[in-house]
Chains A and B, each alone.
Chain A
Amino acid sequence: AQSVTQPDIHITVSEGASLELRCNYSYGATPYLFWYVQSPGQGLQLLLKYFSGDTLVQGIKGFEAEFKRSQSSFNLRKPSVHWSDAAEYFCAVFKAAGNKLTFGGGTRVLVKP
């Protein structure tokens, strides 16, 4: 069975500091991996995706993520966070059979001035 784990429920970071959100997946085949952001009262917005190829993928809003097969990880990073990055972030894996996204539990990011 496929699963996605986000070990950190909450992360607090100072504005201008770097941010790394962890994501581990369990999936037999090469996964299709995604990161989404959910701002308060909003739906989910796709930040970036990994299907194949270069293991470092760039997304919107200055985010990037690195796929590491050996560690079954797909961590999200941003070099310098802005107050507007305060939100909840979800890692997800897509399985073609069943045609659905399976999400991690989410990490809520708080940004201190």
Chain B
Amino acid sequence: EAGVTQSPTHLIKTRGQQATLRCSPISGHTSVYWYQQALGLGLQFLLWYDEGEERNRGNFPPRFSGRQFPNYSSELNVNALELEDSALYLCASKNRGAGAEKLFFGSGTQLSVL
């Protein structure tokens, strides 16, 4: 069974550009979470999608947005990129009713903003 897959693995952008990161959850999982892992800041919760709806949002500006598609895959969009957006972005999935121990993480997309 395939795990959580994220693409691309690496992404290089310049300030002011837009970045789109993609996540495919484990088959059968309806909830997708996004986390930002910036150097020295640990993992910060970004967004939670379930059944196509945004259910919760972390303390990030509106230029961080996303969506979940009918097949439960998800996109994270970051507009007007800033240098401090450089980070590893991790996606995780589980079934909505499942406990947190059923949360599985992808390997992440490393975003570098130059």
Contact = CB atoms under 8 A, between A and B. Distances in A.
Interface of A: 32, 34, 36, 41-46, 49, 51, 90, 92, 94, 98-106
Q: How large is the interface on B (under 10, 10 to 19, 20 to 34, 35 or more residues)?
A: 20 to 34
Q: Is the interface of A mostly helix, strand, loop or mixed?
A: strand
Interface in B13-55: 31, 33, 35, 40-45, 48, 55
Contacts of B42: 90, 103-106
B43 to A, nearest CB: 4
A43 B90 contact: yes
A5 to B, nearest CB: 10
B56 interface: yes
A83 B8 CA distance: 30
Contacts, number: 56
B108 interface: yes
A99 B43 contact: no
B72 interface: no
Contacts of A36: 105
Contacts of B31: 99
B1 interface: no
B105 A44 contact: yes
A46 B101 contact: yes
B107 interface: yes
Most buried by B among A32, A44, A46, A101: A44
Given A34-B101, A46-B101, A99-B48, 7 more contacts: A36-B105, A44-B92, A44-B105, A94-B100, A99-B96, A100-B58, A103-B35
Contacts of B78: none
B48 A101 contact: no
